[in-house]
Amino acid sequence: MDVPAANSASADESVDISGFERVVRVLVGRKMVVLSGAGISTESGIPDYRGPDGPHRRTPPVQYRDFVNLDSTRARYWARSAVGWPHFMHARPNSAHIAVSRLETKGLVTGIITQNVDQLHQKAGSRRVIELHGALAEVICMNCGRLEPRVALQERLLALNPRWESAAASVAPDGDADLPEELIEGFRVPVCLACAGTLKPNVVLFGENVPRERADEAFSLLDAAEALLVAGSSLAVYSGLRFVDGASRRGIPVVIINIGSTRGDALAAARLEGRLGALLPRIAERLLGSP
């Protein structure tokens, strides 16, 4: 296929021009599904676990088994979340989210499978979004299944723990915050308003399985796609990598844009390294034929 010259990309010497051209050649004229990871949201101020310094600067994420079985783990989670949630809630989409939304509006993106729990794709205007790991905007009762908005739970958290409203901490991924253990002692955790059951963020925690029906819906999107664009995921977790494996088995070309290597690189038809906020708008311009 004939592809116009990469005028916008060549203006920035940090862009791998040949890699950029390969990406465009693979995607042009194809309806694509986007698989997005934490790297698309870092430019919105949401840290990731697996960035270049992620494993060294972050406390380990909460494990599902510990959350279910240990009162101390739940108290630690909600104490840190009470501090980290306001920053997370006020995050706004960046140019990468907006570029994906624009491509969806024009019919080039047929759906988004996101590993993120921040709902920034929806805030950017995207409509068909499968939240593979759920969304932090809701809390679910593990006993009766009642859902509660996270903003409402925040009010209850602060009412039970007034000093947390002014607590200072460094922001961590997924609405979390890094807090000294001594501050967490005595933290009071709200219960379900309907049955006094245990509350859990309505997300897939580490060690928990993605619901089967959600995974099936995501694969139905992939089945109808002509290309898979991986945006900002290291594919370290198999819940994301399996879509790259699936695309490869189906003969669907895979494009990966990320900072750093990924577990899916060997299966990619094209790969480009760099910031999503800089690259995706340029790619969108090329695919849409904008000057």
Residues 245-260: tens digit of each pLDDT = 999 999 999 999 999 9
Confidence of residue 48 (pLDDT cuts 50, 70, 90): confident
pLDDT in tens, 207-218: 999 999 999 999
| CA pair distance 157, 199, nearest whole angstrom | 12
Q: Can you give the residue ranges of every domain in the chain?
A: 7-288
Confidence of residue 73 (pLDDT cuts 50, 70, 90): very high
| Residue 216 CB contacts under 8 Å (≥ 6 apart), including other chains | none
Sign of the CA dihedral with 166 first, then 117, 65, and 143 last: positive
What is the pLDDT at residue 4?
36
What is the pLDDT at residue 15?
74
The tokens describing 270, both together, are 């094209």
Confidence of residue 7 (pLDDT cuts 50, 70, 90): very low
pLDDT in tens, 112-150: 999 999 999 999 999 999 999 999 999 999 999 999 999
Strand partners, 148: 139
Per-residue pLDDT at 16 exceeds 60: yes
| CA pair distance 38, 114, nearest whole angstrom | 9
In percent, the amount of the chain with pLDDT more than 70 equals 84
* Of 59 and 281, the one with more pLDDT: 281
Contact 43, 275 (CB under 8 A): yes
- Answer CATH for 7-288 from 3.10.110.10, 3.30.70.20, 3.30.360.10, 3.40.50.1220: 3.40.50.1220
Q: At what angle do helices 17-27 and 276-288 cross, to 10 degrees?
A: 50
Confidence of residue 6 (pLDDT cuts 50, 70, 90): very low
Sign of the CA dihedral with 26 first, then 30, 36, and 42 last: positive
Strand partners, 229: 34, 255
| CA pair distance 141, 148, nearest whole angstrom | 8
What is the pLDDT at residue 56?
42
Contact 282, 21 (CB under 8 A): no
Q: Among 41-45, 52-56, 101-105, 167-171, which stretch is predicted with the lowest mean pLDDT?
A: 52-56
Per-residue pLDDT at 205 exceeds 60: yes
In percent, the amount of the chain with pLDDT more than 90 equals 75
Beta-sheet strand order (sheet of 254-258):
129-131, 109-114, 32-36, 227-231, 254-258, 270-273
Contact 259, 273 (CB under 8 A): yes
| CA pair distance 234, 53, nearest whole angstrom | 13
Active site residue 133: yes
Task: Considering the candidates 56, 90, 97, 133, report the single residue annotated as catalytic.
Answer: 133
Confidence of residue 47 (pLDDT cuts 50, 70, 90): confident
| CA pair distance 164, 96, nearest whole angstrom | 33
| Residue 12 CB contacts under 8 Å (≥ 6 apart), including other chains | 278
* Of 87 and 94, the one with more pLDDT: 94
Confidence of residue 178 (pLDDT cuts 50, 70, 90): low
Contact 283, 24 (CB under 8 A): yes
